[in-house]
Amino acid sequence: MVLRVGVVGAAGRLGSVLAAGVAAADDLELVAAVSPRHAGRPLGAVAPGVTGPAAELVVGADLAAVAGAGADVAIEVTGPATVGPNLLALLDAGVHAVVGATGLAEEDLAAARERAARGPARAVVAPNFAIGAVLLERLAATAARHLPDVEILELHHDLKVDAPSGTALATAAAIDAARTGAPVPTGEGPSRGERHHGVPVHAVRLPGLVAHEEVLFGAPGQVLSLRHDVTDRTAFVPGALLACRRVGGLDGLVVGLGALLD
């Protein structure tokens, strides 16, 4: 069975790469692309990585293009200002949602959980589609049981609108949940990073970067460094396609790709 997929944010830096990945998959069909600024143009003209028949797909202005094209699943990769309303609208339209945009408000996430619980549409909300980033989070949680003194450094391109990243926040939450005792203070002061779940998180935004995360654990006489680097956005394609294939069989809404890897 071929799964029909729409991409919301199809002309963006990530959306264009994911659209190309969907179009290249044998078991997926790209049936809709949404990008308000590029509405009415062929997808290939605004997302050069998309080739073949999908390149001729006319870009829509809003989510009606996704439901109207009969999409089974939609990948949402816009931004904090639009991801919440878009997620709720997709679920209300009966379209499974795979969300890669960060900045989702807690009230929107709660409303999405309620909608996905009663169906028929389900959802995956993933702070990061890169499989390596999910594995780093798991490794960090394991290390935190033995080395509670930790800081996170995350580095992204200068156009990323949120800081810290959703990936860093998810890693901090995983570390906090895994600690067997009280968190160990790692210094105080404005230059020591903003604390999330008791973990100092440092955000860097510079041109030339893509997406990078380093988790540093310290103890007397030793330092453990866990690092994941994305050097090209094609790293996000396998995880996003996995979520598209699995979302319809989920029970409600799932946060993170970790549950899909088990």
Gap between the Cα atoms of 217 and 66, Å rounded: 45
Q: Are strands 73-76 and 96-99 parallel, antiparallel or unpaired?
A: parallel
Gap between the Cα atoms of 59 and 41, Å rounded: 6
Q: Is the domain of 91 the same as that of 62?
A: yes
Q: Is the domain of 10 the same as that of 112?
A: yes
**For residue 14, what is the enclosing H or E element?**
helix 13-24
Q: Is the domain of 168 the same as that of 62?
A: no
Per-residue pLDDT of the chain (262 residues), as tens digits, is 899 999 999 999 999 999 999 999 999 999 999 999 999 999 999 998 999 999 999 999 999 999 999 999 999 999 889 999 999 999 999 999 999 988 888 999 999 999 999 989 999 999 899 999 999 999 999 999 999 999 999 999 999 988 999 899 999 999 999 987 766 666 666 677 889 999 999 999 999 999 999 999 999 999 999 999 999 999 999 999 999 999 999 999 999 999 898 7
Indicate if 160 belongs to the active site. yes
Q: Is the domain of 106 the same as that of 82?
A: yes
Q: Is the domain of 244 the same as that of 216?
A: no
Q: Is the domain of 10 the same as that of 106?
A: yes
Residue 230 phi, psi dihedral angles, 5° rounding = -100, 115
Q: Is the domain of 139 the same as that of 109?
A: no
Q: Is the domain of 45 the same as that of 82?
A: yes
* The one catalytic residue among 156, 196, 212, 228: 156
Q: Is the domain of 11 the same as that of 117?
A: yes
* CATH number of 79's domain: 3.40.50.720
The model's pTM is 0.90
Determine contact, residues 9/78, Cβ cutoff 8 Å. yes
* The one catalytic residue among 38, 96, 160, 202: 160
Q: Is the domain of 8 the same as that of 114?
A: yes
Range of the domain at 220: 131-231
Domain count, the chain: 2
Q: Is the domain of 166 the same as that of 57?
A: no
Indicate if 156 belongs to the active site. yes
Gap between the Cα atoms of 206 and 209, Å rounded: 6
